[in-house]
Amino acid sequence: WEALWADGLAKGSRFDVAGVSRPLAAELSRRRNHASTSASGRTIMSALIPGAGRAYDAIALAEHGFDSVIAVDLSPAACAAAREEIATYYNADHGNSTAINVICADFFDLEGQYDFIWDNTFLCALDPSTRERWALKMKELLKPETGELITCVFPIGEREGGPPFALSVPLVKSLLEPVGFQSTLVQD
């Protein structure tokens, strides 16, 4: 991944979609605001995006009301590109960028718990031998009872090799359900 990023991955090329991902944009348009309130006042909402790339989705989540958005990538060049994208966006007078924190780290080394995790083609980038470990880590990182994981299952279909490695909805369910996740919505 570092080689792809360090080689000068341009916006809109290869796996960079040059903006907020369409599945996340559709989900956010369905919901008024993720930031919830309680009787004692506003509840702080946190989000995690593993394999965040240029952090387009992190910006979208911050703009949608998340108080803390952690954008994680393993590639130092991707992290630098994310920081640059965030700075460019917020320097264009879109408000305050303090909600987003870019962390250059291995997903499997992360700690903490989050209200919302957005896996947008992160699983398909991982070697298939790490899939059960991915599911366990997702369970560990998500707040019990109230946390929500949304994963974009892609690419669907038969194909050899990767990344991206082929996935299917039944495969992802077979990874998540044994560790305690319940599917609330499957949408094509």
- Please give the Cα distance from 154 to 15 (Å, whole number): 12
Q: For tokens 């320097």, name the residue.
A: 91
CATH architecture label of 44-179? 3-Layer(aba) Sandwich (3.40)
- Please give the Cα distance from 155 to 23 (Å, whole number): 13
Domain limits, the chain: 44-179
The answer to whether the beta carbons of residues 61 and 33 sit under 8 Å apart is no
pLDDT band of 40, cuts 50, 70, 90: very low
pTM: 0.84
Distances (CA, A) of 36 to 24, 62, 126, 166, 185: 19, 14, 33, 36, 21
Question: Strand, helix or coil at 25?
Answer: helix
Pair type for strands 68-73 and 46-50: parallel
Q: Is it the case that residue 80 has pLDDT exceeding 50?
A: yes
Q: For the residues 69-90, what does the mean pLDDT come to? A: 89
68-73 sheet: strands from edge to edge? 100-104, 68-73, 46-50, 116-120, 148-152
Q: Is it the case that residue 9 has pLDDT exceeding 80?
A: no
Q: For the residues 56-64, what does the mean pLDDT come to? A: 90
The predicted pLDDT at position 162 comes to 76
- Please give the Cα distance from 163 to 102 (Å, whole number): 23
Q: Is it the case that residue 88 has pLDDT exceeding 70?
A: yes
